[in-house]
Each structure stands twice: as C-alpha cells, then as structure tokens.
Amino acid sequence: MQATHRTRHADHPNFVPLSSPVNTDTIGEIYDAVRYKPGDAIVRAGKDPSDHWYVYLPKKEHKLAATTYKASSIRRHRQQMQELLLESTYTFDNKDWVGLEQRKMIMMLLHQVMKKDIRQTDFSAREVAATLKPLSNQTRSRKRLKKTSALKATTSPILKSRKDYLKQFLSMNDSDLRIMNQALFPADKTIFFKEQKLILQSIFSLII
C-alpha cells in the first residue's frame, strides 16, 4: 500500500474548468481552485467557445507586454473574473435556506468584488480564498446534511399503518430477533411460562 502524501501546490492545475451554468457549487469550485495556491498568485477567469466558465492562474506578465499587446486580453479576463464572482454570489444569495449570517458575508463579498479596480489590479488567490471560504463551507455542510437525511430516510422508512409495522416486524433478521429476545426474556432473570405468555399476548395485541 502506498503512503498518502499531503497535496502540494504543484499538484493543482493552473487551469480549472467549472460547472456550467453557474450554481451553488460554483463558489466551492472556485475556492478549491485557489485554496492551495500561493497567496499572491493572480486569478483570472474566462469562457471557452461553448460558453463554459473556467478560472486560471497565469504567470506574471512582463510589464511591457501587460501595457501593450496583452493589455486588452488582461482587462477582459479580469472583468470576467469579477463577473464570475458576482454571478456565483448572486446565485447563492437567491436561495431561501441562506441564513442572516451568510447574507452578511454575501454583502461583504459583493462589496469587495465590486470595489475592485480591475483596470489596475488582479484578484489574488489569497483574497479570493478568504472571501469564498465561509460560503463554500456553508454549501458543503448543507450537502452533507442532505445526504445524511436521505440515508436515514432509506434505512429508517416512515411507518404509517399497522401493516407497515407488521411487515417491519416480520422482516427482522436473526440478530434483531436475538436482541428483542434478550430484552423481553433476559437470561439473568427467570421468567415463567405464564409471564412469557402475557408478554407475547401484549405484543400481539399491538400488531394485530
């Protein structure tokens, strides 16, 4: 068996396609794309020919290139990063399960994103991760809760009628039957036949 190694920055790609259209998982996807990157890494976004979003972390451009032939492309991808963050946040804010504390965080995030001077500066991995982490955690906690609830629903069905209870009773496996037998007729206590009969009659009166 191979040893498990901690994920390093180099293991995470610098180009990350996102779910399309934007949904409540998008914030988590953006967060995962930048969370292990150096804090000063540049983060930009774009759309492929199929109109699907992606984020990427480019290498720092040469100053001459950034102010001449690459200037238009850089501004466009900065603006698209801003649009992606705003769209993802608005999508999150529209959900009725979002609480007051989360809405406060959303307002702070929107303010931070909108005031960014994308004509002069990029979004950094540090600021993107810091602003998205609380909302990403909220989304994942909700998904875990929904999975747990769904699992409970499948393993513990709601019994509505006497027939349902009887069916559940008759489908008990050997292990369950032994547990019930020990509960009703413990080995360390002598229960006479008449007492056993009364107990069983009481049980049958409940299920018949």
- Going from the C-alpha of 157 to that of each of 3, 165, 181, the distances in angstroms are 41, 10, 23
Q: Are residues 123 and 79 in the same domain?
A: yes
Q: What is the pLDDT of residue 8?
A: 42
Buried b (16+ CB within 10 A) or exposed e, 65-100: eeeeeeeeebeebbebbbbbbeebbebbbeeeebee
Q: Are residues 123 and 29 in the same domain?
A: yes
Dihedral of the CA atoms 85, 89, 92, 95 (nearest 10)? -150
Q: Are residues 150 and 166 in the same domain?
A: no
Q: What is the pLDDT of residue 16?
A: 93
Question: Does residue 90 belong to any structural domain of this protein?
Answer: yes
Question: Does residue 110 belong to any structural domain of this protein?
Answer: yes
Q: What is the pLDDT of residue 76?
A: 92
Q: What is the pLDDT of residue 10?
A: 43
Q: What is the pTM of this model?
A: 0.63
Residues 6+ apart with CB under 8 A from 103: 93
Question: Does residue 3 belong to any structural domain of this protein?
Answer: no
Question: Does residue 99 belong to any structural domain of this protein?
Answer: yes
Q: What is the pLDDT of residue 81?
A: 95
Q: What is the pLDDT of residue 198?
A: 72
DSSP letter at 122? P
Q: Are residues 139 and 168 in the same domain?
A: no
Quick one: how many helices (H) and strands (E) in the chain? 8, 4
Report the candidate in 97, 47, 108 with the shortest Cα–Cα distance to residue 77: 47
Q: CB burial class (10 A; 0-12, 13-18, 19+) of residue 109?
A: buried
Beta carbons of 54 and 16 less than 8 angstroms apart: yes
Mean pLDDT by 10 residues, the chain (208 residues): 41 76 89 93 93 90 73 91 92 76 82 89 92 83 72 60 67 70 66 68 64
Structure tokens at 111: 């303010």
Q: What is the pLDDT of residue 152?
A: 62
Q: Are residues 97 and 189 in the same domain?
A: no
Question: Does residue 1 belong to any structural domain of this protein?
Answer: no
Residue at which a domain ends, from 154, 173, 194: 154
Instruction: Provide the 10 A C-beta neighbour count for residue 127.
Output: 16
Q: Are residues 81 and 128 in the same domain?
A: yes
Q: How many domains does the chain have?
A: 2
Q: Are residues 35 and 79 in the same domain?
A: yes
Q: What is the pLDDT of residue 162?
A: 62
Q: Tokens 């909700």 identify what position?
A: 142
Q: What is the pLDDT of residue 79?
A: 94
Range of the domain at 74: 9-154
Q: What is the pLDDT of residue 5?
A: 39
Q: Are residues 28 and 78 in the same domain?
A: yes
Question: Does residue 4 belong to any structural domain of this protein?
Answer: no
Q: Are residues 32 and 106 in the same domain?
A: yes
Q: Are residues 30 and 77 in the same domain?
A: yes
Q: Are residues 127 and 49 in the same domain?
A: yes
Q: Tokens 């790609």 identify what position?
A: 13
Q: Are residues 199 and 146 in the same domain?
A: no
